[in-house]
Amino acid sequence: MLFDEISQKLDFSSWGEEGSSSDNSSDDCAAMTRSPRISSPASACWTPRVQRHRSRSNAMSSPSQCTSPIPYASWSKLRLCDSPSTPKSLLSKSSKPYSSTKISRHQRSLCLASSAASLPRAPSVNVNPFTPDTVRRNSEQQWRKACRSDDDEEYGQRLKHSLTSSEEDDEAFLPPKRRAVQAFMLSRYESEFLELECIGVGEFGAVYKCVKRLDGCLYAIKRSRRPLAGSANEQLALKEVYAHAVLGHHPHVVRYYSAWAEDDHMIIQNEYCDGGSLTDAIVKKEVQGEIFTEPELKDLLLQVSMGLKYIHSLGLAHLDIKPSNIFISQQPSTGAAAEGESEEEDGSSPAGVIYKIGDLGHVTSTNNPQVEEGDSRFLASEVLHEDYSHLPKADIFALGLTVLLAAGASPLPQNGGEWHSIREGQLPKLPRELSSTFIDLLQLLLDPDPTKRPSAKELCKHPVLTEERAGRLATQLRRELNVEKFRTAMLEKELQEARQAALSPEPDLPLQLKPQAEMGSLPKSGRRLVGGRKARSMSFGCPGYGV
Ligand X SMILES: Nc1ncnc2c1ncn2[C@@H]1O[C@H](COP(=O)(O)OP(=O)(O)OP(=O)(O)O)[C@@H](O)[C@H]1O
Residues that bind ligand X (CB under 6 A): 199-200, 202-205, 207, 220, 222, 254, 270-273, 276-277, 324-325, 327, 358-359, 361
DSSP assignment string, 200-263: EE-SSEEEEEEEETTT--EEEEEEESS--TTSHHHHHHHHHHHHHHHH--BTTB--EEEEEEET
Q: From the centroid of its chain, how far is CA 159? A: 35
Check: CB of residue 454 under 8 Å from CB of residue 396. Answer: yes
Cα 406 to Cα 281: distance, rounded to the nearest angstrom: 9
Interface stretch with Mg ion, choices 18-26, 194-202, 216-224, 505-513 (CB under 5 A): 194-202
Q: Annotate 55-121 with three-state secondary structure.
A: CCCCCCCCHHHCCCCCCHHHHHHHHHCCCCCCHHHHHHHHCCCCCCCCCCHHHHHHHHHCCCCCCCC
Residue 375 as a binder of Mg ion (CB under 5 A): the answer is no
> Least CB distance from residue 226 to Mg ion, whole Å?
15
Residue ranges for the binding site for ATP? Answer: 199-207, 222
For ligand X, the closer CB: 197 or 492 = 197
For ligand X, the closer CB: 121 or 223 = 223
For ligand X, the closer CB: 123 or 205 = 205
Which amino acid is residue 468, in one-letter code? E
Q: Which DSSP state fits 377?
A: G
Residue 279 as a binder of Mg ion (CB under 5 A): the answer is no
**Closest residue to bound Mg ion by CB:** 359
- Residue in 192, 359, 375, 382 binding Mg ion, rule: CB under 5 A: 359
Check: CB of residue 454 under 8 Å from CB of residue 444. Answer: yes
> Least CB distance from residue 396 to ligand X, whole Å?
19
307 contact choice in ligand X, Mg ion, none (CB below 5 to 8 Å, kind-dependent): none
Choose, from 320, 346, 395, 447, the residue flagged as catalytic. 320
> Least CB distance from residue 241 to ligand X, whole Å?
12
Cα 219 to Cα 207: distance, rounded to the nearest angstrom: 10
Cα 66 to Cα 110: distance, rounded to the nearest angstrom: 11
Residue 202 as a binder of Mg ion (CB under 5 A): the answer is yes
Quote the Cα angle for 459-462-468, to 5°.
Answer: 115
For ligand X, the closer CB: 207 or 394 = 207
> Least CB distance from residue 264 to Mg ion, whole Å?
21
Identify whether 320 is a catalytic site residue. Answer: yes
Check: CB of residue 391 under 8 Å from CB of residue 315. Answer: no
Residue ranges for the binding site? Answer: 199-207, 222, 325, 359
x/- map, 56-75, Mg ion, by CB under 5 A: --------------------
User: Which of helix, strand or coil describes residue 387?
Assistant: coil
Torsion-angle region of residue 343: left (phi > 0), alpha (psi -120 to 50) or beta? alpha
> Least CB distance from residue 373 to ligand X, whole Å?
12
Residue ranges for the binding site for Mg(2+)? Answer: 325, 359
222 contact choice in ligand X, Mg ion, none (CB below 5 to 8 Å, kind-dependent): ligand X
Residues forming contacts to Mg ion in the complex (CB under 5 A) are 202, 325, 359
Catalytic residues: 320
